[in-house]
Structure 1
């Protein structure tokens, strides 16, 4: 399960498909050094992204493995 407290780089290491979801939200975290120091919630706020919607989508995809 993906949580708000996970660092972005941890999420990207779980499944490569998460990169596309983040990019679709305008979060090009795989290109950013902040991926190692920002949680998913912090990154979403920094990009003005609906965090709950993003979290739901990431966890939905994780369940499709």
Structure 2
């Protein structure tokens, strides 16, 4: 199963499955196509946008866990 970490970029995660976009959107990360999505780590994005990193990672990994069933 694919495991999302704080060091990955948003684009690395989106490249695994574009349907995960709604999880990022739910957490307030709306600029999925901006240059930052390819360069900035998920940890950095969460920090900049005031998002709880642990909750975001849990939701992202839950998405991939459900997809693998």
TM superposition score normalised by structure 1: 0.91
CA distance in 2, matches of 1:23, 1:61: 13
Residue deviations 1:2-51, cap 9 Å, x none?
01111111011111222111111110131321011100100111110000
* C-alpha separation in 2, matches of 1:4 and 1:54: 9
Please list every run of 5 or more consecutive structure 2 residues that lacks an aligned counterpart in the other structure: none
Whether the aligned pair in 2 keeps the contact of 1:8 and 1:29 (CA below 8 Å) is: no
CA RMSD of aligned residues (A): 1.0
User: Structure 1 stretches of 5 or more lacking a match?
Assistant: none
Q: Distance in 2 between matches of 1:48 and 1:41?
A: 10
TM-score where L is the length of structure 2: 0.86
State the number of aligned residues: 65
Partner of 1:20: 22
